Structure 1
Amino acid sequence: MLQYTIRRLIGMIPIIFLISVVVFTLAKLMPGDALSGKIDPLNSDPEYIEEMREKMGLNDPIPVQYFRWMSGVVKGDFGDSFVHKQPVMELIGQRLPNTIILGISALIITYILAFLMGRFSGRFPYTIGDYLISGLNYLALAIPSFVAALVAIYIFAIKLGWVPASGSIGTGVEAGTIEYFISKAKHTVLPAIVLGAMATAAYTQFLRNDMIESSRKDYVRTARAKGTKESAIYNKHILRNSIIPIVTLLGFDIANLLGGAIITESIFTYPGIGYLFVESVNSRDYSVMMAITMMLTILTLIGNLVADILYGLVDPRIRLS
């Protein structure tokens, strides 16, 4: 297992290098630059703009700019944000806790709902309850996440007034107090429910279909022939084997904790990494945009590795070498 993990980590190095080239190239191919539309109107003459571009190194050849940026990335320095006037990693560090809280909350909601609905549908397939759950799943797959977010804001925030419609914390709340944590929870619950509930459908169908398939296998028929209770067959034999695919998907959700919340954070103006990414694209803040993209790339690669390791741990038949 250790040798397999080390080989996979070493194999990530050329992949990360190639992706960094693609990310940097795409950023440079975008129209405009960090100075577009951000110049002080009192100093917007062409000479000043050209002087700023020269100072920021935007006039250097593309390979020179790439290697200068990549040398900083290797040291953990992604440069400074032109818009926010602070180091990129410091800016990401300020927004990252919000996204982690939102992502973990949404992930818990996703797994709880998927487990309960998938277990019921797999245990009682082709019943009214199963058809109702399938209908909800298809509805969740068909509705765009931004539509679900807008409907949730209109009903629960505007009409009912149960939760705030935007932000991550109330005004005038002191950090570390009980009011702070209550306000944080109120601002997080609605986007977390939207993000978590909309992702439940695939997990539910995975669990349902695998349970139905497992219920037809020989070891289940043998257990029934021995007189084992039906509840014990489903809970001890079928559910234990069917939950393996769901557990392994946890590795892929590592990247989704950040990347999957881009639309949701934008709709709720929730100050996390996803909302910061949209802001950086709109303002052509390339240093922030490239840093977040590289972060999501690395998390995706790590997620794939974690998924493989989890699969080997939960299924003794799998041996990683």
Structure 2
Amino acid sequence: MSGHISPTARQEAGAAAAPAGVALTLLRSLVHRIAVFGFLLVLMSVLPRLLPGDTLDVLMDSDVQRELADDDLHALRDRLGFGGSLAEQVGRDLLRLLRGDLGYSLLHGAPVRRLLAEALPWTGLLIAAATPVFLGLGIMLGVEAGRQPGSRADRVLTAGMSLLASIPPFVTAIALLLVFAILCPVLPAGGAEPLFPAATPWLRAFEIARHAVLPALALALHEVVRYFFVLRGEAAVLSHRAFVVNARSRGISGWRERRDYFSRNLLPVICARLGQSVATLFTASLFVEVIFAYPGIGSLTYQAVLDRDYALLQGAIAVLAALVLSLNWLFDALTETLARRG
């Protein structure tokens, strides 16, 4: 019959439509992220100006130390770009950012682009060091607890992670600093490297690694709890699936069971959680870098808030937002692809 469609034709049509559906989903996700990015730019131009004082007030208090007439003060404020209504100032900021100009920091006496280029690699080092730690621990402990729900291992691990989850992240960072840098001074208390860097590259790299241990560990502990509970729940569901029960009945256990039947099937969940972790890690780096006096973009942003350094604050938020949203979108694309493949 002319109206009959064979099962093979249906499968081919479904296979052809799947990539189009994925592309449409990712395109919508990209448009949403661009809208969020634009909203963040406006928000970070408005909010700092609602705080009392501005960059000029900070300069007058700390550096200038002399009196100016009101007319001179208004003229100086206009010349530095702090004059006009709130709408005019926000408009100038957005036009400058859309041109790719991140501005100039008066407090630091340097272009914002250069300051961010110097600070971002330090934050990237902490995140790169923390990621394999919380991924490895989160996956290993989550699978171990979830593969046999209700077992002794599950109860012990869940209780330990629940206790860790109840401790605020900044308290964990302070505890690490107190124990390993003050009470038992085996690691540096702060900074990214010694005051006088080593002469040889290998020794300098070793010192940089030592200074990164505690802040990276604080970031890792901030995320490992989240991964544990997500993967423990997913592994508990997998443990009752037919293919896992069948594999166990055939004597498959140990490392092979954990690797082939749990970890591989949890890859979409891991990638989805990793996309969310990007934003969380950059946010957590703010208090971690402040506590450990680490010269990353978190410390730079915190100081910009205190100094009312509008250009530096807006530039830092713009770069971080673009980076986080882009990485988040890439992880979403990877998750969508893995989920479609099953």
1:202 corresponds to which residue?
Answer: 226
Out of 252, 255, 267, the residue aligned to residue 229 of structure 1 is 252
Q: Quote the offset at 1:233 in angstroms.
A: 4.3
CA distance in 1, matches of 2:257, 2:178: 45
Local SS of the residue matching 2:340? coil
Deviates more, 1:119-128 or 1:30-39: 119-128
CA distance in 2, matches of 1:244, 1:230: 23
Identity of aligned residues (%): 28
What amino acid is aligned across from residue 67 of structure 2 in structure 1?
S
* Residue-by-residue CA offset, 1:10-66 (whole Å, 9 max, x unaligned): 454333223322221212212111112321344332444333212112122333222
Q: Quote the offset at 1:113 in angstroms.
A: 1.0
Q: 1:67 aligned to 2:91?
A: yes
Deviates more, 1:96-105 or 1:235-244: 235-244
What amino acid is aligned across from residue 211 of structure 1 in structure 2?
A
Deviates more, 1:173-182 or 1:212-221: 173-182
Out of 145, 148, 151, the residue aligned to residue 121 of structure 1 is 145
CA distance in 2, matches of 1:239, 1:108: 15
Q: Quote the offset at 1:100 in angstroms.
A: 0.2
Q: 1:13 aligned to 2:34?
A: yes
2:58 corresponds to which residue?
Answer: 37
* Residue-by-residue CA offset, 1:259-298 (whole Å, 9 max, x unaligned): 2210111100111011111111111111111222223332
1:250 corresponds to which residue?
Answer: 274
1:143 corresponds to which residue?
Answer: 167
Do the aligned residues in 1 keep the contact of 2:147 with 2:238 (CA within 8 Å)?
Answer: no
CA distance in 1, matches of 2:322, 2:65: 42
Out of 284, 298, 319, the residue aligned to residue 322 of structure 2 is 298
Out of 38, 41, 57, the residue aligned to residue 81 of structure 2 is 57
Question: Structure 1: which 5+ residue stretches go unaligned?
Answer: none
* Residue-by-residue CA offset, 1:134-171 (whole Å, 9 max, x unaligned): 12211221111221122111111112211110100102
Question: Structure 2: which 5+ residue stretches go unaligned?
Answer: 1-18
Out of 193, 207, 219, the residue aligned to residue 217 of structure 2 is 193
Q: Quote the offset at 1:243 in angstroms.
A: 3.5
CA distance in 1, matches of 2:31, 2:97: 18
CA distance in 1, matches of 2:182, 2:258: 44
Do the aligned residues in 2 keep the contact of 1:81 with 1:288 (CA within 8 Å)?
Answer: yes
Identify if the C-alpha distance between structure 1 residues 120 and 177 changes in structure 2 by more than 3 Å, giving closer, same or farther: same
CA distance in 2, matches of 1:25, 1:3: 35
* Residue-by-residue CA offset, 1:104-126 (whole Å, 9 max, x unaligned): 11111111111221122123432
CA distance in 1, matches of 2:91, 2:261: 55
Local SS of the residue matching 1:168? coil
Identify if the C-alpha distance between structure 1 residues 175 and 109 changes in structure 2 by more than 3 Å, giving closer, same or farther: farther
CA distance in 2, matches of 1:269, 1:283: 17
What amino acid is aligned across from residue 48 of structure 2 in structure 1?
A
Return the TM-score normalized by structure 1: 0.90
CA distance in 1, matches of 2:310, 2:199: 32
CA distance in 1, matches of 2:271, 2:23: 23
CA distance in 2, matches of 1:297, 1:167: 25
* Aligned residue pairs, count: 317
Which ranges of 4 or more aligned residues in structure 1 deviate by more than 6 Å? Answer: none
Deviates more, 1:91-100 or 1:123-132: 123-132
Q: Quote the offset at 1:173 in angstroms.
A: 1.1
**Quick check: which has more Rg, 1 or 2?**
2
CA distance in 1, matches of 2:27, 2:101: 25
Q: Quote the offset at 1:223 in angstroms.
A: 3.8
Return the TM-score normalized by structure 2: 0.85
What amino acid is aligned across from residue 33 of structure 1 in structure 2?
D
Q: Quote the offset at 1:6 in angstroms.
A: 4.9
Deviates more, 1:119-128 or 1:146-155: 119-128
Identify if the C-alpha distance between structure 1 residues 22 and 175 changes in structure 2 by more than 3 Å, giving closer, same or farther: farther
CA distance in 2, matches of 1:116, 1:9: 33
